Amino acid sequence: MAELQALLFDVDGTLADTERDGHRVAFNMAFEQAGLDWHWNEALYGELLAVTGGKERIRYFLEKFHTDFEKPDNFDDFVKGLHQAKTDFYTQLLSEGKIPLRTGVERLIQEARDAGLRLAVVTTTTPANVTALLTHTLGEDSESWFEVIAAGDIVPAKKPAPDIYHWALEQMSLAPEEAIAFEDSLNGILSSSAAQVPTIVTINDYTKDDDFSKADLVLDHMGEPDQPFQVLSGDAFGHQHLNLELVRALSKSGR
């Protein structure tokens, strides 16, 4: 029987509540800087999250919600420029300590490192965003803790396609059953489950009503010894916070 070797982490919404108070705010700052009167409130941004990828999200916004916008001739460069400005503002917000890690994340990562498990990031956000989040929350050298950073446009088809998980597993020479994924959204669980990777979901305000029937365990957060999680579906085997013992138990039960 294959043993658990690696933990594969999504970023936005999983490691930190980056969407509402990070990316959304940074997008609005970029729009204002560009002289655009666009503003993505929390409700609208929730709808835009149906699309993965920042540049794709801008395009979707214009196609569905702002159809009268006159696109410039250099539209691709326009979108790339907006997205780059948004990334810069997002990094600024992180450096100001405005986007902390979610409950239990740092503890679980440190447990995995101490146990010699391999770590990877599997996300649709840009590599720059990954670097910014890790360095400003876990420390300057924390990116080196992750053997693979599967991020951004490294594969053509983003989540919910399984391509990013296939790529990460290939880079690490792992079978799906030798890893476990951590996700927070419908697109995430569709991606990981299609790649046949067992998955633990921690919901957030934007994803709490998503269909997570394909997940092995669904929690409100990872929890701490003095801050128990709430089990929304699945078996936590009597645990009240997510630790390696529970992760390993879930990995075995999924095989």
Active-site positions read 10, 12
Residues 6+ positions from 121 with CB-CB distance below 8 Å:
8, 9, 10, 11, 130, 146, 148, 149, 150, 151
Coil, helix or strand at residue 38: coil
Tokens of 223: 């929890």
- DSSP bridge pairs for 8: 120, 181
Tokens of 105: 């994340």
Matching residue, tokens 């917000």: 93
Contact status, residue 33 vs residue 85, Cβ threshold 8 Å:
yes
φ, ψ of residue 48 in degrees (nearest 5): -70, -25
Of the CA atoms within 13 Å of residue 247, those in its CB half-sphere come to 26
Burial environment of residue 165 by CB neighbours within 10 A (0 to 12, 13 to 18, 19 or more): buried
